[in-house]
């Protein structure tokens, strides 16, 4: 037997109520079946893991399948839910809020749903933000807009104070929509709830435009991000080709991971260089970036450079020590830095440089159709898990299946682009840039 149990989801207790969902338990009757806790999915699908389990007799590491349970923990008539959104903006937040409200109200008949304003600040009474009552009527159209209907903020609040607020308002389940910091925060809230023996479920719905949450296939809003960035890159290409030795530099979001920059370059294949945080490129030298750029200009007389915001931080003489409210280092502007260095290098060969930073436009856009579908399904699965009494988990996709994963597992490290992987190789094939820049 497999002794490792790292993906075990915690439960508040045994379910005591029948689900109001009119679903089936019989295969073949053309009605969706309730999901059983025994319906688990293998995490590592590799042939090596299969052979190891076959030879050793160990059970493979498995994940809880997401979906509605026949027996639920909470009595819908007596249940209060709360929703909070934290961190930076991201396409699809309003879709998730809407999906959670609609699922709670129409699937389970829960009438009291609280919106927590401005992130975790809203759970601190001293800040003075009033709760928002959420109903289907209030949220029915919010998916058409970017941003967050509830408002957001960065930074944590006192965990004990936040749990006090939840208990005083008789909240039974808290849905936290946010990235790494938000998920760590809601997990800490769950730990405090557990220490008080309180019966409150806490659920994370992973949100990061950078797509850097570990283990999961993809975070919502990411596809919209590079979808919105693609026409901007197209226009940057038009600017570059419109001048002799024209250069366009487009800076996209990506603090620690370059998924948006890389994906946008693949989606709009007019990019010649993609620079991401995962690579330590050099400016000078035989194989340096500036040398490769000169060769490009000599051949084609224009170049398009897409750079992630966290790329090239090793090139600055003095590393930034300034942190935002979430504790993240505020990176120096690599886009302006590259513009300056290119200008200094090409004094004998005149160049025309356009620097474009559309980051806040990209993150504030409404979700596209693919993300809209994804957000709704994530919301539904989060609600089903909470109603079953599961806690301290995220609803997400792994191996293209909707599953529940402990928050503690997805926050251990950031997901990054594998420079030896096929995805990055595709980017290099698309751009034609050298495998190594320095």
What pLDDT, in 10s, does the model give residues 259-289? Answer: 999 999 999 999 999 999 999 999 999 899 9
Classify residue 188 by burial, with Cβ atoms within 10 Å: 0-12, 13-18, 19+: middle
Same domain, 389 and 349: no
Same domain, 137 and 213: yes
Whether residue 2 is predicted with pLDDT greater than 60 in this model: the reply is no
Residue 381 lies in a domain: yes
Buried b (16+ CB within 10 A) or exposed e, 321-338: eeeeebebeebbbbbebb
Same domain, 233 and 342: yes
Q: What is the pTM of this model?
A: 0.95
Per DSSP bridges, beta strands 201-206 and 173-178 are parallel
Residue 241 zone, left/alpha/beta (φ > 0; ψ -120 to 50; rest)? alpha
Residue 2 lies in a domain: no
**CATH number for the domain harbouring residue 336:** 3.40.50.460
Sign of CA dihedral 182, 383, 127, 89: positive
Please give the annotated binding residues for Mg(2+), written as ranges: 180
Same domain, 82 and 210: yes
pLDDT score, position 317: 85
Same domain, 213 and 297: no
Residue 40 lies in a domain: no
Please give the annotated binding residues, written as ranges: 88, 154-155, 179-182, 208-210, 253-255, 309, 360-363
What pLDDT, in 10s, does the model give residues 86-112? Answer: 999 999 999 999 999 999 999 999 999
Whether residue 3 is predicted with pLDDT greater than 60 in this model: the reply is no
pLDDT score, position 4: 60
Which residue, among 195, 199, 153, has the nearest Cα to 177 in the 3D structure?
A: 153
Supply the DSSP string of 305-339, one letter for each residue. Answer: EEEETTTTGGGSSS----B-TTS-B----HHHHHH
Same domain, 124 and 146: yes
- Split into its structural domains, the chain has a count of 2
**CATH number for the domain harbouring residue 170:** 3.40.50.450
Please give the annotated binding residues for substrate, written as ranges: 208-210, 253-255, 309, 360-363
User: So which residues are the catalytic ones?
Assistant: 210
Whether residue 330 is predicted with pLDDT greater than 80 in this model: the reply is no
CA-based radius of gyration for the chain: 24
Same domain, 196 and 236: no
Residue 166 lies in a domain: yes
What pLDDT, in 10s, does the model give residues 369-410? Answer: 999 999 999 999 999 999 999 999 999 999 999 999 999 999
Residue 337 lies in a domain: yes
d(CA 20, CA 230): 44
Same domain, 378 and 244: no
Q: Is the separation of the CB atoms in 305 and 292 below 8 Å? A: no
Q: Is the separation of the CB atoms in 341 and 312 below 8 Å? A: no
pLDDT-derived band at 331 (thresholds 50, 70, 90) equals: confident
* Token pair recorded at residue 215: 């283990």
Give the three-state DSSP class for 273: strand
Residue 213 lies in a domain: yes
Tally the C-alpha atoms within 13 A of residue 115's C-alpha that lie toward its C-beta: 21
Same domain, 281 and 427: yes
Please give the annotated binding residues for ATP, written as ranges: 88, 154-155, 179-182
Same domain, 88 and 175: yes
Which residue range forms the structural domain that includes residue 175?
Answer: 65-219+367-398
- Alpha carbon 161 to chain centroid distance? 27
Per DSSP bridges, beta strands 71-72 and 62-65 are unpaired
Residue 29 lies in a domain: no
Same domain, 305 and 294: yes
Same domain, 227 and 162: no
Residue 165 lies in a domain: yes
pLDDT score, position 325: 62
């Amino acid at each position: 037997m497999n002794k490792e149990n790292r993906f075990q989801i915690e439960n508040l207790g045994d379910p005591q109520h029948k689900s109001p969902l009119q679903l089936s338990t019989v295969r073949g009757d053309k009605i969706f079946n309730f999901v059983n806790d025994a319906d688990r999915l293998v995490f590592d699908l590799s042939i090596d893991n299969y052979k190891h389990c076959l030879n050793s007799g160990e059970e493979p590491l498995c994940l809880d399948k997401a979906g509605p349970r026949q027996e639920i923990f909470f009595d819908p008539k007596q249940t209060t839910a709360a929703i909070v959104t934290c961190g930076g903006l991201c396409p699809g937040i309003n879709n998730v809020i809407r999906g959670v409200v609609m699922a709670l109200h129409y699937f389970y008949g829960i009438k009291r749903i609280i919106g927590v304003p401005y992130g975790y600040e809203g759970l601190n009474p001293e800040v003075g933000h009033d709760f928002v009552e959420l109903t289907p009527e209030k949220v029915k159209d919010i998916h058409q807009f970017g941003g967050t209907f509830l408002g957001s903020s960065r930074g944590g609040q006192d965990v004990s104070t936040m749990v006090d607020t939840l208990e005083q308002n008789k909240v039974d389940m808290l849905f936290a929509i946010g990235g790494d910091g938000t998920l760590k925060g809601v997990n800490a809230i769950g730990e405090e709830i557990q220490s008080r023996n309180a019966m409150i479920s806490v659920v994370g719905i992973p949100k990061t435009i950078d797509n850097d949450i570990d283990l999961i296939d993809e975070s919502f809003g990411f596809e919209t991000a590079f979808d919105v960035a693609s026409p901007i890159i197209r226009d940057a290409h038009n600017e570059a080709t419109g001048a002799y030795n024209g250069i366009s530099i487009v800076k996209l979001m990506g603090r620690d991971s370059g998924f948006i920059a890389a994906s946008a370059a693949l989606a709009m294949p007019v990019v010649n260089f993609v620079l991401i945080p995962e690579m330590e490129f050099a400016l000078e030298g035989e194989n340096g970036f500036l040398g490769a750029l000169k060769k490009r200009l000599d051949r084609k007389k224009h170049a398009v450079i897409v750079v992630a915001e966290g790329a090239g931080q090793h090139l600055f003489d003095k590393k930034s020590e300034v942190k935002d409210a979430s504790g993240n280092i505020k990176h120096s502007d690599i886009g302006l830095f590259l513009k300056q260095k290119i200008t200094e290098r090409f004094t004998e060969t005149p160049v025309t440089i356009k620097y474009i930073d559309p980051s806040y436009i990209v993150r504030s856009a409404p979700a596209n159709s693919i993300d809209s579908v994804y957000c709704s399904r994530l919301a539904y699965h989060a609600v089903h898990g909470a109603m079953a009494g599961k806690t301290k988990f995220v609803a997400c996709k792994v191996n293209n299946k909707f599953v529940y994963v402990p928050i503690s597992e997805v926050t251990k490290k950031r997901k990054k682009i594998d420079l030896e992987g096929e995805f990055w190789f595709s980017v290099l094939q698309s751009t034609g840039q050298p495998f190594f820049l320095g």
